């Protein structure tokens, strides 16, 4: 059965929708970039074209990067995102493989999967105060480690659900052949199954990293000075004279660039990982 070709009118409508969607996604980047290179007086005018409507400047970038708190916040965000994503994927991969290859009775596999999924549905604001009290007792307030642990907890459902489905779609015969050759269950997992889901592993790691990088509520509640990440720094751009949009633009660009660059570099793995097993022959 042949696919129906689109008429010229349908192509125009699809093109318009795509253009609107692209503009909708890219406009925050463009707004932040423009404000980061505008002089303070120009940010309150309707100017959108550099060198024609206004003269750009890099002074705000220089001033912002010279601030110790901003550089520390970038380091904190990087540590939190990389640490939480790595810990989440490490634990989630083991849990996903166990749920895909072994049968549990009390609780059952479906119950365990639902429990992991509930951690993603649970509103973080519900557990802010309990986590604050726990971290206070553990002396981890204003500590990067506390944010790594909390972000790993709330991103753990991603590797469990995504990788669990990928492990289920792998033929069991591959692992059984490795077991016949003398490999242990862990060696079969490490040398056979894990390399086959590597694209999904990378895609899941980047998803966990992005969520950890953008987390705001726990960072705001559990940090005061030493462990403040970039999302809290962005929210702190309000001055006694109002919001300093030029510094907001610089901070937004500094926050968006690292995960965007990482996603572009790993685009091939993300596409392969998210489509792994989507088409069956």
- Residue 45 in any domain: the answer is no
Cite the DSSP H helix spans in the chain.
8-37, 59-65, 68-101, 109-121, 128-137, 144-155, 157-169, 172-180, 185-188, 194-196, 198-214, 217-222, 230-235, 245-265, 267-275
Please report the pLDDT score of residue 176 as a whole number. Answer: 86
- CATH number, domain of 221, equals 1.10.3720.10
Please report the pLDDT score of residue 40 as a whole number. Answer: 84
- Residue 82 in any domain: the answer is yes
Do the Cβ atoms of 37 and 56 come closer than 8 Å?
yes
Interhelix angle 157-169/68-101, nearest 10 degrees: 40
Please report the pLDDT score of residue 280 as a whole number. Answer: 45
Give the span between the Cα atoms of 35 and 244, in whole angstroms. 10
Give the span between the Cα atoms of 193 and 195, in whole angstroms. 6
Q: How high is the mean pLDDT of the chain?
A: 86
Please report the pLDDT score of residue 279 as a whole number. Answer: 43
Give the span between the Cα atoms of 98 and 108, in whole angstroms. 12
CA gyration radius for the chain? Answer: 23
- Residue 34 in any domain: the answer is no
Give the span between the Cα atoms of 113 and 51, in whole angstroms. 55
Please report the pLDDT score of residue 209 as a whole number. Answer: 92
The boundaries of the domain holding residue 76 are 57-275
- Residue 32 in any domain: the answer is no
Please report the pLDDT score of residue 212 as a whole number. Answer: 93
Q: Which residues pair with 239 in a beta bridge?
A: 242
- Residue 20 in any domain: the answer is no
Give the span between the Cα atoms of 142 and 130, in whole angstroms. 16
Please report the pLDDT score of residue 3 as a whole number. Answer: 53
Q: What domain count does the chain have?
A: 1
Please report the pLDDT score of residue 273 as a whole number. Answer: 59
238 three-state secondary structure: strand
In tens, the pLDDT along 210-228 reads 899 989 999 999 998 899 9
Tokens linked to 185: 């269950």
- Residue 19 in any domain: the answer is no
In tens, the pLDDT along 98-132 reads 998 888 888 888 888 888 888 888 888 889 999 99
Please report the pLDDT score of residue 275 as a whole number. Answer: 62
pLDDT < 70 stretches in the chain? 1-4, 237-242, 269-281
- Residue 102 in any domain: the answer is yes
- Residue 43 in any domain: the answer is no
What is this structure's pTM? 0.83
């Amino acid at each position: 059965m042949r696919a129906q070709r689109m008429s010229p009118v349908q192509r125009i409508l699809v093109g318009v929708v795509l253009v609107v969607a692209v503009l909708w996604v890219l406009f925050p980047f463009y707004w932040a970039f423009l404000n980061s290179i505008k002089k303070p007086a120009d940010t309150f005018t309707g100017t959108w074209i550099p060198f024609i409507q206004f003269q750009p400047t890099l002074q705000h970038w220089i001033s912002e990067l010279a601030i110790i708190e901003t550089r520390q916040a970038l380091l904190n965000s990087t540590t939190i995102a990389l640490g939480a994503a790595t810990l989440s994927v490490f634990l989630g991969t083991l849990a996903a493989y166990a749920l895909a290859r072994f049968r549990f009775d009390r609780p059952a596999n479906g119950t365990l999967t639902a429990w992991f999924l509930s951690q993603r549905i649970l509103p973080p604001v519900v557990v802010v105060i309990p986590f604050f009290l726990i971290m206070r007792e553990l002396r981890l307030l204003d500590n990067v480690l506390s944010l790594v642990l909390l972000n790993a907890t709330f991103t753990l459902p991603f590797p469990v659900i995504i990788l669990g489905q990928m492990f289920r779609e792998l033929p069991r015969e591959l692992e059984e052949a490795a077991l016949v050759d003398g490999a242990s269950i862990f060696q079969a997992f490490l040398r056979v199954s894990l390399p086959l889901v590597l694209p999904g592993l990378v895609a899941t790691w980047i998803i966990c990293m992005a969520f950890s990088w953008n987390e705001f509520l726990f960072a705001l509640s559990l940090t005061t000075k030493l462990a403040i990440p970039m999302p809290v720094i962005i929210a702190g751009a309000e001055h006694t004279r109002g919001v300093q949009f030029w510094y907001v633009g610089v901070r937004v660009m500094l926050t968006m660039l690292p995960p965007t660059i990482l996603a572009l570099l790993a685009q091939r793995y993300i596409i392969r990982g998210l489509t792994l097993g989507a088409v069956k022959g």
